[in-house]
Amino acid sequence: MRTDSKSTLSRTGSHSTSSRASVDSGHKKLIPSIQTTEKFTSKWPRPQSLKALNINRSAKGWRNRKGVIQDTILELEEGYSLGLDKIDRWTRFKWCLMVSVITVLCYGSGAMICAILTWFRTWNHADVMYVADNDILILITLAGSILMFTALLGLTGTLLNSRPILATYTLLLWPALISMLAVGYTSYKRYAFSLDRKLNFSWSQYYTPLGRLMIQSSLRCCGFYDPLHEATMSNKCYTRTPLPGCKAKLFRFERENLSLIWSTTLSIISLHLINIFVALLCSNHVTSVFGKGITPKRYRLSELDLKADAEKIRSQIERIRPTYSRASSSMVFREDREERTSLLRDSPH
């Protein structure tokens, strides 16, 4: 009898282990011996109320904690202690990501401010850059816009703990890098290779009369080499004006301005690469728990699921039949029964 019961238990344990592995792929099931639906699983974290509740198995402990259990049930019914009614502490990854996003916002807003001030020509010699480096000014404006939009998106995703938004932020850091590389490459190429010839060719071929007049007014010069060489006449620029030509002043301004642009851009690019690295490492770890702590829609129980699982449990219970033990056919028990029967018959009433 004991050997049969042990073998039955071992078969039952092996059956439950195989069903647990086949149904939930290693996750713990609420009813491991019955093949229920995969929605009956305990792989999602419990609410804080249930984690804090330590119920004793004894009857005394159960009676002492009866009020605590009722309060916990009421809290869960009201939606409290699900992790949505409190603010968690920021992780180290979230702090690093926040600092990275703020740095992107800083140099993006700085580039945008410089571009706007140049477009509106609010600083000295802004007219010269507006005419001579118009393409670089457009690239700076584009890079600043992309950086500011990317930084605002990253700031929103960090504060909301939204991984999809942070994934978009990480992706947009690459177009921002390309735009910054375009600014640095264009300004360095113009600065390093035949700047004087490029200025001479641009003055005669690309600059409009209005553009030449803006450069002459800003640098206080007349013509390129002298007032007789492709000058735009004005009340200060005429044939016998004492003003010098614009070549030397324009060349000096362009070297200083282009050197400042490409050196600043390349130094920011190194910082931007660090920000890309930080975003790749930290954007998926803004919280300690993956997601919002809410059970996904796939694992939410419905009335049909409960009915189907109840039918499965009922069918499994109906298959179980109790095993009845038969009386032994040994002669020892028969002789003992006959002796007791004879004694009962011979005893006086």
Q: What is the pLDDT of residues 94-129, one digit of tens each?
A: 899 999 999 999 999 999 999 999 999 898 889 999
Would you place residue 141 in the very low, low, confident or very high pLDDT band (cuts 50, 70, 90)? Answer: very high
- Are the CB atoms for 186 and 139 separated by under 8 Å? yes
Highest mean pLDDT of the ranges 118-132, 224-238, 301-315? 118-132
Distance from chain centroid for Cα 212:
51
Give me the count of residues in the chain. 349
Of residues 307 and 282, more confidently modeled: 282
pLDDT in tens, 256-295: 999 999 999 999 999 999 999 999 998 888 776 655 556 6
- pLDDT at residue number 331: 54
Question: Tokens representing 232?
Answer: 């735009």
Both tokens of 329, joined, read 């056919």
Amino acid 277: pLDDT:
95
Torsion angle, alpha carbons of 76, 77, 79, 80, to 10? -40
The whole-angstrom separation of Cα 130 and Cα 75 is: 65
CA distance readout (Å), 87 to 81, 98, 154: 12, 17, 20
Sequence-ordered strand ranges (E) for the chain: none
Tens-digit pLDDT profile for residues 74-88: 655 555 555 545 556
So what's the pLDDT on residue 99?
A: 95
At 185 the pLDDT is 95
Task: Quote the percentage of the chain above a pLDDT of 90.
Answer: 40
Confidence of residue 161 (pLDDT cuts 50, 70, 90): confident
- Residues 312-325 have a mean pLDDT of 69
Determine the average pLDDT of the residues in 237-254.
89
Give the per-residue pLDDT at 307.
80
347 pLDDT exceeds 70? no
CB 36 within 8 A of CB 313: yes
What's the confidence (pLDDT) of residue 251? 93
Within its chain, how far is the Cα of 206 from the centroid? Answer: 47
Q: What is the pLDDT of residue 305?
A: 75
Residue 6 confidence class, pLDDT cut points 50, 70, 90: very low
Residue 88 has a pLDDT of 63
Tell whether pTM > 0.95: no
Average pLDDT, the chain: 76
